[in-house]
Amino acid sequence: MTAHPDLSRLIQALPKAELHLHIEGTLEPELVFSLAARNGIDPGYPSVDALRAAYDFQDLQSFLDVYYAGAKVLQKERDFRDMTRAYLERAREDGVVHAEVFFDPQTHTGRGIPFDAVITGILRGLEDGQREFGITSRLILCFLRHLSEDEAFHTLSEAKPFLSEIEAVGLDSAEAGNPPEKFQKVFAAARELGLRVVAHAGEEGPASYIRSALDVLGAERIDHGVRCTEDDELVARLAREKTPLTVCPLSNVALRVFPTLADHNLPELLRRGLNVSLHSDDPAYFGGYLGENFQATAEALSLSPEDIVACAENSFRAAFLPDETRREHVRSVQTAAARA
């Protein structure tokens, strides 16, 4: 089944903010191969098709193993720049006008790549995206939660010369068994430095991790958060406080958080008044960029035009932008919706 043509036109026409996007998750197999060739590295698979075939996951960890292996082709500042620019070029096709991009410095510094090369390459790519495609952006540094808090502190110290270029810190990687409490001190230190806070919680981990991301880390936005529905009081709180949940439907199916898109709890989240927006997480690995997330979700869950517009509006309401800019973007969603 395909979405009603009017719905597809609406999805295409709406401006959107991408708020949950791991830049390393945009490495398409073709780019893995071209960067591997440029850097004289074995891509680990005989062909692009063989690599694409490996993008079949049982859970978050089985994905992370492939994702961290793929990132090894990123060696030089220029590689990070090319990856970032390529993502923004693709994002423009889906109506993305603002992107808040995660990066995982420890994935690279752990392999001996200097922090400076990683962040400078990404920042140059973001500048390319603004200049060439008109996409504004923010950068969010994620700590890998399977590593220690001491290692996160070391990464925070490496980030200090670049603080004016970093909007927020986040928390990603293997969730179950790595609760927010493990990183309480380093998030407090990041807040002291003026950084804002987001965190992955309630993807594979329990609803209690969402509570601790809010209360222990000071998260302003929850990445995923779909397991909040296991705790009615938490849902009521999230609705009351209008806490943004950055939901990634294709990711949730690829990593088997839900068996199929038709089983996703997005309609329940919307019905219960939560501030949800749609995002693409690791689009090269999960079968689609932002437009495909909207499209496939609208089809599988029979979303209404109002649901779709709400998700696009919420993406800007949740963005780390000045109030007036946020309001302008929300108005531009409404204008585009009225015209579509």
Active site residues: 203
Cα(50)–Cα(25) distance, rounded to whole angstroms?
18
Instruction: Work out which of 7, 10, 35, 60 binds ligand ADE, going by CB under 6 A.
Output: 60
Cα(36)–Cα(59) distance, rounded to whole angstroms?
26
Q: How far is the CB of 252 from ligand ADE (least distance, A)?
A: 9
Residue 8: exposure state from Cβ atoms within 10 A (0-12, 13-18, ≥19): middle
| Range in contact with Zn ion (rule: CB under 5 A) among 105-113, 139-147, 274-282, 302-310 | 274-282
203 contact choice in ligand ADE, Zn ion, none (CB below 5 to 8 Å, kind-dependent):
ligand ADE
Q: Helix crossing, 290-301 with 5-13: angle to 10°?
A: 150
Q: What torsion, rounded to 10 degrees, do the Cα atoms 146, 280, 138, 229 define?
A: -70
Cα(123)–Cα(77) distance, rounded to whole angstroms?
10
Which run of H or E residues covers position 76?
Answer: none
Q: In the stretch 130-169, what mask flags binding to Zn ion with x, by CB under 5 A? A: ----------------------------------------
CA angle 147, 151, 152 (to 5 degrees): 90
Cα(21)–Cα(36) distance, rounded to whole angstroms?
23
- Token pair 């997330």 in the structure block, residue: 293
Nearer to ligand ADE, 203 or 313 (CB): 203
Instruction: Work out which of 79, 100, 282, 313 binds ligand ADE, going by CB under 6 A.
Output: 282
Q: Judged by CB under 6 A, does residue 22 bind ligand ADE?
A: yes
Q: In the stretch 277-306, what mask flags binding to Zn ion with x, by CB under 5 A? A: ----x-------------------------
Nearer to ligand ADE, 92 or 256 (CB): 256
Interface ranges with Zn ion (CB under 5 A): 281
Interface ranges with ligand ADE (CB under 6 A): 22, 25, 60, 67, 172-173, 200, 203, 251, 281-282
